[in-house]
Amino acid sequence: MALGELPSGSDDLHLRTCPACRGELEALRRVVTAARAPESEDIGLLQPPAELWTGIATELALTRAPAGAVTAVGEAPDAVPAEKEERVGSPAERGAPTPRAARRPLLSRRARFSVVLAACAALLGATAGSAVTWWVTRGAGETAAARTRALDSLRPASTGYASLRGTGAHRSLTVQVKGLPMTSGYFEVWLMDRSHTKLVSMGALDPDGKAVLPVPENIDLREYSVVDVSVQPYNGKPDHSGKSIVRGPYAG
């Protein structure tokens, strides 16, 4: 998102309600803006810590630091991979002029790259930690909502989600409904066609409003593309009661 990609609906909703993640997104956007900005002599960038170059050099097997980079011992010579290092004569030795004005843009770009790299490393390290925490601690209901499709609520206090997983003989329909009404009966899950005139009973919801129900291979899901959850009385009749709670297409 910091690079300009559009977020998913669930991510956009989370950002609206999570100040911590909004702050991290803005911090990353500032890094991207700094990296994309044109060259300027008055950009107030921070000096990266000395240990940053040490880590980069170790990872890339470099023997020298780039111009403008700060090392643990305060040196800043050119960086060359160890396996490809070779001495190149200085411009003066090659007979080429080396005016200070010609050298400054190159040094500025190198130093700026080091600074942006340092900022990215610091910010991404912090973001990774908090992102993992978010994914681990976020509620199961929010995770389910992000991976499934919301059903239409036919009763104001009820909300539901449904998704289809697997293929062939190993398909399963996952349904979750919150805000179930009080009843002396039970809640049945159905697959319907779009006209709501043809339906197949799939099974009952658990007391907590959840169910993972196997879908027979001979059911044509191109025709039965709608999920319905109804409240059913214990009257021994297999027919739909006509009292639906949630209904709509499932994800998958």
Going through 78-127 in order, the beta strands assigned E by DSSP cover: none
* DSSP category for residue 194: T
User: Is 0.75 topped by the overall pTM?
Assistant: no
For 74-84, the pLDDT digits (tens) are 544 444 444 44
Angle at 149 between CA 147 and CA 152, to 5 degrees: 155
What the block records as the tokens of 226 is 């709608």
pLDDT tens profile 99-111: 444 444 444 555 5
User: How far is the CA of 120 from the CAs of 15, 48, 128, 195, 241, in angstroms?
Assistant: 21, 11, 12, 53, 59
Per-residue pLDDT tens for 137-153? 444 444 444 467 899 99
Higher pLDDT pick, 188 / 66:
188
Looking at residue 136, its pLDDT comes to 45
pLDDT of residue 10: 81
Quote the crossing angle between the two packed helices 140-147 and 9-17, to the nearest 10°.
Answer: 150
Domains along the sequence of the chain with CATH: 9-138 (no CATH), 148-249 (2.60.40)
Alpha-carbon distance 158 to 156, whole Å?
A: 6
